[in-house]
C-alpha cells in the first residue's frame, strides 16, 4: 500500500513540475501581425509567432496560405531552439494551413529539437526543380503533415529519435537525388533510429519524377519502417545499414524513370564505414509486406547472398514472382480480402490524389475537400493490412516500447507512457 501511495505521489509531483510553468497557446494567421498579441482574436504572423515561442508552448496556425521567404532569408525554423521540453506547432481545428515560399518554391523548413509539428501542409503549386528540403533536430515528431511537389523532401542526417508518423508525401523526390524521406544517420545506436510509420507516398511517375520514397542509405542504423503506403513511386523502399526493420508496408505500384519498387542490397554500397562491425554487410528485417502487381522491377539478391542475420519472411506478392521465406502469392481477386478495396479501386484513389496536386493553384489545393476522402481510403487500407500481420512483441519499434499498444498517459507528460515505462517508474521510485 505504501508503495502505491508513493507512486501516486511521484506522479502527482511530476504532473505539477515536469511541464513548463508558463507554457501557453498562441495563434498565428496569414493576416496576422507582429503587433498582435498571439491571441485567437489578434494573432501574430507566422515568423513573429514562432520567434515568440518558449519551450512547452503551442503555436496554432489558423486556416489559410502562409507565404514565407526561405530562399533569401534561409530556413523557416519551427519551434524554440535549445529546448529539451516538448513544444507543438499545429493546425487549428478544421483548418488547412499551407506553408509555401514567396518565390514559388517549396519552403526550406527546419524543425528544432523536441518540437512536434502536426497537421500542416507544405508545398508549391507545381513540381519544384530546386533542392529545398525539410530537416530536423533531435526528438522531433512530424505527425499528419502533407508535403507536396518537393524536389528534396525530408532529409535526416545526424538526428536521433525522430518520429515521422501519418504524413503524406505527394510528388516529392526527383531524379536520382530527391527523396520523400532520406535517412543517413550512420552513427545511430539502438533506440536512436527514426520511426517511419503509416506515411503515404504518392508519386507522379512522369519522366524524372517520383524519386525515392523511403531511402535508407550511407549505413543508417535501427530505423523502423512500418505500415507505410507507396503508390506510383519511382523507387519505393531502399534499405541499407544495420538493425533496420521494414514490416507491414504496402508497395502497391511503381513507375516512372526507374520503376523500382524495392532495393535490398546485400552490402553497404559506396560507404563502408570503419565502425561497421558487420564487415560492410546490411542487416535488416523485411517481414509481412505487400507488393502489388505493378512492381515487377526489384533489386533483390538470392537469400544465400545475405548476411545470416537478415530476415526476409512472410511477404505477399500479387501476380509477380516472390522471394524470401514463407512467401505468399496472390491474385487480384485476393486483394479486397486483404486490403478492403479492389485493385482498380485503389488505382483510382491514387490517380485522384495525384490529380489533386497537379496543375492546381494553392488556393484550389486548399479548397479541395475531396483530397481527404481519398487519403482516408488509403489509411483504411493501411489499417487493414497492419491488423492482419502484427505479431505482438515481434515488431521492432527501434526502442519505442510496444506491448500490444497498451499505453497509460501520466499526468504532466505530453507523450503517453507504456506499461513497460510505468513498470520502470515503479521500480525506480517505489522501492
pLDDT of residue 9: 52
Give the mean pLDDT of the chain. 82
Quickly state the pLDDT bin for 410 (edges 50, 70, 90): very low
Percent share of the chain, pLDDT over 90 = 55
Which is more confident, 53 or 73? 53
Average pLDDT for 139-149: 96
Strand partners, 174: 209
pLDDT of residue 173: 74
pLDDT of residue 431: 36
Instruction: Specify the CATH number of the domain 2-429.
Output: 2.160.20
pLDDT of residue 232: 85
pLDDT of residue 135: 87
pLDDT of residue 131: 64
* Least confident stretch, 89-98, 150-159, 208-217, 291-300: 208-217
pLDDT at 150 over 80: yes
pLDDT of 237-258, one tens digit each? 999 888 999 999 999 988 766 6
* Least confident stretch, 124-133, 224-233, 375-384: 124-133
pLDDT at 222 over 90: yes
Percent share of the chain, pLDDT over 70 = 77
pLDDT at 214 over 60: yes
* Least confident stretch, 332-336, 366-370, 425-429: 425-429
For residue 278 the three cell numbers come to 558487420
pLDDT of residue 341: 97
pLDDT of residue 328: 96
Quickly state the pLDDT bin for 62 (edges 50, 70, 90): very high
Tell me the three-class secondary structure of the chain, residue by residue: CHHHHHHHHHHHHHHHHCCCCCCCEEEECCCCCCCCCCCCCCCECHHHHHHHCCCCCEEEECCEEEEECCCCCCCEEECCCCCCCCEEEEECCCCCEEEEECCCCCCCEEECCCEEEECCEEECCCCCCCCCEEEECCCCEEECCEEECCCCEEEECCCCCCEEECCEEECCCECCCCEEEEECCCCCCCCCCCEEECCEEECCCCCCECCEEEEECCCCECCEEECCEEECECEEEEECCEEEEEECCEEEEECCCCCEEEEECCECCCCCCCCCCCCCECEEEEECCEEEEECCCEEECCHHHCCCCCEEECCEEECCCCCCECCEEECHHHHHHHHCCCHHHHHHHHHHHHHHCCCCCHHHHHHCCHHHHHHHHHHHHHHHHHHHHCCCCCCCCCCCCCCCCCEECCCCCCCCEEHHHHHHHHHHHCC
pLDDT at 402 over 80: no
Mean pLDDT: which of 8-17, 99-108, 178-187, 275-284 is highest? 99-108
pLDDT of residue 327: 96
Amino acid at each position: 500500500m505504501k508503495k502505491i501511495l508513493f507512486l501516486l505521489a511521484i506522479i502527482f509531483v511530476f504532473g505539477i513540475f515536469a511541464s513548463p510553468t508558463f507554457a501557453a497557446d498562441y495563434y498565428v494567421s496569414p493576416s496576422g501581425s507582429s503587433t498582435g498579441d498571439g491571441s485567437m482574436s489578434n494573432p501574430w504572423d507566422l515568423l513573429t509567432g514562432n520567434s515568440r515561442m518558449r519551450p512547452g508552448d503551442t503555436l496554432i496556425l489558423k486556416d489559410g496560405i502562409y507565404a514565407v521567404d526561405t530562399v533569401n532569408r534561409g530556413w523557416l525554423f519551427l519551434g524554440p531552439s535549445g529546448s529539451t521540453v516538448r513544444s507543438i506547432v499545429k493546425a487549428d481545428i478544421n483548418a488547412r494551413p499551407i506553408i509555401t515560399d514567396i518565390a514559388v518554391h517549396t519552403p526550406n523548413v527546419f524543425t528544432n529539437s523536441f518540437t512536434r509539428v502536426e497537421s500542416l501542409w507544405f508545398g508549391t503549386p507545381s513540381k519544384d526543380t530546386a533542392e529545398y528540403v525539410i530537416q530536423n533536430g533531435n526528438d522531433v515528431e512530424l505527425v499528419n503533415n502533407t508535403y507536396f511537389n518537393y524536389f528534396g523532401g525530408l532529409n535526416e542526417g545526424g538526428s536521433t529519435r525522430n518520429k515521422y508518423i501519418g504524413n503524406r508525401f505527394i510528388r516529392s523526390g526527383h531524379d536520382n537525388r530527391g527523396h520523400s524521406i532520406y535517412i543517413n544517420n550512420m552513427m545511430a545506436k539502438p533506440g536512436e533510429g527514426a520511426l517511419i510509420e503509416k506515411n503515404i507516398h504518392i508519386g507522379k511517375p512522369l519522366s524524372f519524377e517520383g524519386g525515392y520514397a523511403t531511402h535508407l542509405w550511407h549505413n543508417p542504423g535501427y530505423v523502423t519502417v512500418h505500415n507505410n503506403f507507396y503508390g506510383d513511386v519511382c523507387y519505393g523502399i531502399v534499405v541499407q545499414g544495420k538493425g533496420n526493420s521494414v514490416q507491414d508496408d504496402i508497395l502497391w505500384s511503381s513507375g516512372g524513370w526507374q520503376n523500382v519498387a524495392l532495393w535490398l542490397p546485400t552490402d553497404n554500397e559506396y560507404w563502408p564505414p570503419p565502425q561497421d562491425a558487420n564487415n560492410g554487410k546490411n542487416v535488416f528485417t523485411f517481414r509481412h509486406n505487400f507488393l502489388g502487381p505493378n512492381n515487377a522491377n526489384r533489386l533483390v539478391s538470392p537469400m544465400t547472398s545475405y548476411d545470416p542475420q537478415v530476415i526476409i519472411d512472410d511477404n505477399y506478392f500479387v501476380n509477380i514472382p516472390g522471394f524470401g521465406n514463407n512467401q505468399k502469392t496472390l491474385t487480384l481477386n485476393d486483394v479486397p480480402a486483404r486490403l478492403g478495396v479492389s485493385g482498380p479501386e485503389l488505382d483510382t484513389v491514387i490517380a485522384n490524389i495525384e490529380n489533386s496536386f497537379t496543375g492546381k493553384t494553392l488556393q484550389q489545393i486548399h479548397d479541395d475537400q475531396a483530397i481527404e476522402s481519398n487519403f482516408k481510403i488509403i489509411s483504411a487500407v493501411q489499417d487493414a493490412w497492419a491488423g492482419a500481420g502484427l505479431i505482438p512483441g515481434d515488431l521492432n519499434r527501434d526502442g519505442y516500447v510496444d506491448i500490444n499498444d497498451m499505453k497509460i498517459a501520466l499526468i504532466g507528460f505530453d507523450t503517453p507512457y507504456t506499461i513497460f515505462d510505468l513498470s520502470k517508474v515503479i521500480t525506480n521510485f517505489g522501492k
